[in-house]
Amino acid sequence: MNRLIQILAILMLVLVTASCQDILNQPPDDAITSEEFFNTSNDLRVYTNDLYSVMPKKSVYMDDASSDNILGVSAASRVEGSRTVPTNRGSGGWSWENLRKINYFLENYDRVDNENAKAKYSGIARFFRAYFYFEKVKRFGDVPWYSEVIDADDEELLNKARDPRAMVMDSVLADINYAVDNIPAEKQLSLITKYTALILKARISLFEGTFRKYHELENHEKFLEEAVSAAEELINAGAYTLYTNGGADQAYLDLFARNSQDMTETILAVDYEFGKRTHDLAYRMTAPTQGRWGLAKDLVNSYLMADGTPFTDQNDYETMGFYQEMQDRDPRLTQTTAGPDYSTYGSNEGEPVNLDITRTGYRVIKALPPKGPQWGSGGSYNDIILFRYAEVLLIYAEAKAELGTLTQGDLDMSINKLRDRVGMPHLNMADANANPDPYQEALYENVEQGSNKGVILEIRRERRIEMVNEGLRWDDLMRWKEGNIVEDPIRGIYFSGLGAHDFDNDGNADVYVHDGDAAGAPDEVTAMININERPLTNGTSGNLQLFDGGAFEEPKDYYYPIPKEDLNLNDNLVQTPGW
């Protein structure tokens, strides 16, 4: 115990010795710390445990509310088009503290006399450096690459310019390949393994490959091929499969709402535990003053009918009431949003319609744990999934489709596995390409116009539906060069007019729509819509519309600006184009 306390004390000393001129700029006192700390394999384990702070936590289940998928209390600045240049150094995502910790480890780990430990933990450190730089490139494009801790008097490195995106991403690829080659192939729910490295490599490579393709940058094929290779290796490993407990009408909901993850489908999760480590997501999802998250109508429209045909092929899809539009749909729809017969997770008792906690009316229930104490502020302890096997299947199919090498057999081992889980008909490649869905075509203006257009659109549909509310949607829009989507209004449930509406078809009114006078509302109504506060598109009828669309400037808004103070401190830094 004394040894562990000493290790932690030394580690804290290492990590707090840097100043605000970005933690890159002042190294720890190596003469003291490196010799005293990096001596055993346990030292390496303890140090790399601190690097997990690079990874997100509950924010992955919140990020879609800053995209076209979900509208919350208000639209995010990146959706509104109201982002501004930050002032303070190290703000706006231009922070390098975690990188300095990673590089310090990589400069000192080799002191330990244990080859297996050195391989494993250096692999984990380079996993985190790949993740760190992937996030930076997504946000800023060209960024300075640092593979060492900078000395306080190293003016050349302290005043380094941005390195080209191509160079940085080649370095990221080298890091994640090293991680794949050196971290053991073991299943660990909350620790980095070879399998975690493979799915991160697949995610990075798909992003970079499609970003380069649709933004007309060079060498996109290289990264798409790496995405296929990583996904295929993980698939062939046979370590994971899809979670199917509960069947088509329950498994998808159960995967996220249960308290504790297992390693059937989940590759990496953040572990939460009652009384020890909790979060507040359920409170945000259910308190009228908090998130008020609601699915966008165009997302709801994208869910297929149960027979595999597009919902939007129906002549009256635009004017369907809530009960009707929820019938005979992909089962994931009512496992993501509260349907007509909604019961909270773990309960068989019907839940009253509540539209006060959702702006669009399509209440988000994905990852909502059982009703009770977990719905209180800071009371949730269901684990948060960071990586899962379903994403691997989606990456495999999309990368092959974008490369032009996709076959029906590829779809059967990827997309159609996802459809099997929820009892949906298989995606047929020939049919999709012969008949591209006009509704999806209208959503994605920049999709490839070649022979695979139809199947690419269907893969995008599948990805949006399967991964909704898991923090990937904004990145998808950016890599597909579809930022203009945020200029479209976000709409909600359709109401045929003022008065009472029956949401569950039981003959009793659930919702009353009024123009300021609710005196005529039936006693059994559990939800009110005042069109003076939540307008309808046609005045007294139409869809709820509380966001009229944002602004997106091409190509500027695909990136973020560097803070003013950082530019002032380094004359070699150039502001992001357009900012």
Domain for residue 515, yes or no? yes
- The answer to whether 279 and 384 are in contact (CB under 8 A) is yes
The predicted pLDDT at position 33 comes to 59
Rounded (10°) CA dihedral 567, 568, 572, 577: 30
115-140 and 194-214 helices, crossing angle to 10°: 30
State the sign of the Cα–Cα–Cα–Cα dihedral 239, 401, 560, 566: positive
Which pLDDT score is estimated for 34? 66
Whole-number pLDDT of residue 389: 98
Residues in the chain, total? 579
Token pair belonging to 490: 């976000």
> DSSP labels for 241-309?
----TT-TTTHHHHHHHSSS--TTTEEEEE--BTTTB-B-HHHHHH-TTS---EE-HHHHHHSPBTTSS
**Dihedral through CA 59, CA 64, CA 70, CA 73, nearest 10?**
40
pLDDT at 498: 98
Query: pLDDT value at position 153?
Result: 82
Are the C-beta atoms of 469 and 333 separated by less than 8 Å? no
User: Domains in the chain: how many in total?
Assistant: 1
Residues 380 and 369: their CA atoms lie apart, in Å, by 7
Res 317: pLDDT: 97
Low-confidence ranges of the chain (pLDDT < 50): 1-32
Give me the residue label for tokens 């549909």. 461
Phi/psi of residue 503, each to 5°?
A: -85, -20
Contact, 486 vs 549, CB < 8 A? yes
Per DSSP, what are the bridge partners of residue 539?
A: 536
The reply to whether 390 falls in a domain is: no
Rg (the chain; Cα; Å): 25
Asked whether residue 542 is domain-assigned, the answer is yes
pTM beyond 0.85, yes or no: yes
Provide CB contacts within 8 A for 139, sequence distance 6+: 93, 559, 560
Which residue range is the domain that position 527 belongs to? 491-547
| 222 within some domain | no
Give the residue among 424, 401, 402 at the shortest CA–CA distance from 411.
401
Kindly state the helix (H) or strand (E) to which residue 239 belongs, with its residue range: none
Element (H, E) at 467: none
Question: And the tokens for 84?
Answer: 């501004």
Query: Is residue 521 assigned to a domain?
Result: yes
Which residues touch 460 (CB under 8 Å, ≥6 apart)?
398, 440, 444, 447, 476, 480
Cα–Cα distance measured from residue 501 to residue 508, given in angstroms and rounded to the nearest whole number: 8
Residue 461 lies in a domain: no
Residue 550 near residue 81 (C-beta atoms within 8 A): yes
The b-or-e profile of 439-466 (16+ CB within 10 A means b, else e) is bbeebbeebbeeebbbbbbbbbbbbbbb
Domain for residue 537, yes or no?
yes
Structure tokens at 287: 């308190």
**Is 159 among the domain residues?**
no
